[in-house]
Amino acid sequence: MITIGDSASMTKTFSDEDVRTFAEISGDNNPIHLDDEYAAGTRFGQRLVHGILTSGMISAVLGTQLPGPGSVYIKQTINFRAPVYIDDTITATVTATKIRDDKPIATFETVCKKADGTVVIDGEAVLLLPSA
């Protein structure tokens, strides 16, 4: 049973291989993610990890830990707050903020942070909870 305030997290360091594999799977071959020379000439000065790849950590926490297997997304808002670079370590945390009484639906605050505490993504997820 989930209660308001319940929280779960996971941490991952994003590698060049992660970015290249995601680009291949998704078809997002934007050179800001893949080309060192191109990225060096941008405002960021180096390659970025795809924002959606980073946000995938939220899905991983929700689907494997809280609420866990069998849960299904209804809605997710994502605010990209800061860039994520190759070799950055990110922690995704979800926290239950609302649980409906009439239906098996819960709302979660979602946050991804760098090791130094910089918020790179925040938002909210609404999920259909797994059946008992």
pLDDT digits (tens, 9 = 90+) for 54-99: 999 999 999 999 999 999 999 999 999 999 999 999 999 999 999 9
| Among 101, 103, 104, 108, CA closest to 77 | 108
* Each residue's pLDDT tens digit, 87-125: 999 999 999 999 999 999 999 999 999 999 999 999 999
Domain membership of residue 42 (yes or no) is no
Q: Give yes or no for residue 126 having a pLDDT over 70.
A: yes
Q: What angle do CA 82, 83, 86 make, to 5 degrees?
A: 150
* pLDDT recorded at residue 68: 95
Domain membership of residue 77 (yes or no) is yes
What is the domain extent for residue 74? 7-13+51-128
Domain membership of residue 20 (yes or no) is no
Looking at residues 27-39, what average pLDDT do you find?
98
Domain membership of residue 34 (yes or no) is no
Domain membership of residue 84 (yes or no) is yes
Q: What is the pTM of this model?
A: 0.94
| Among 117, 98, 118, CA closest to 106 | 98
Number of independent structural domains in the chain: 1
* pLDDT recorded at residue 62: 98
Domain membership of residue 101 (yes or no) is yes
Cβ 130 vs Cβ 114: under 8 Å: no
* pLDDT recorded at residue 91: 98
Q: Give yes or no for residue 1 having a pLDDT over 90.
A: no
Integer Rg of the chain from CA? 16
Q: Give yes or no for residue 4 having a pLDDT over 70.
A: yes
Cβ 21 vs Cβ 53: under 8 Å: no
| Distance in angstroms (rounded) separating the CA atoms of residues 8 and 62 | 8
**The token pair that represents 66 in the structure block:** 């809280």
More confident residue, 130 or 57: 57
| Among 29, 31, 15, CA closest to 90 | 15
Domain membership of residue 26 (yes or no) is no
Q: What is the CATH number of the domain that holds 59?
A: 3.10.129.10
* pLDDT recorded at residue 132: 63
Domain membership of residue 31 (yes or no) is no
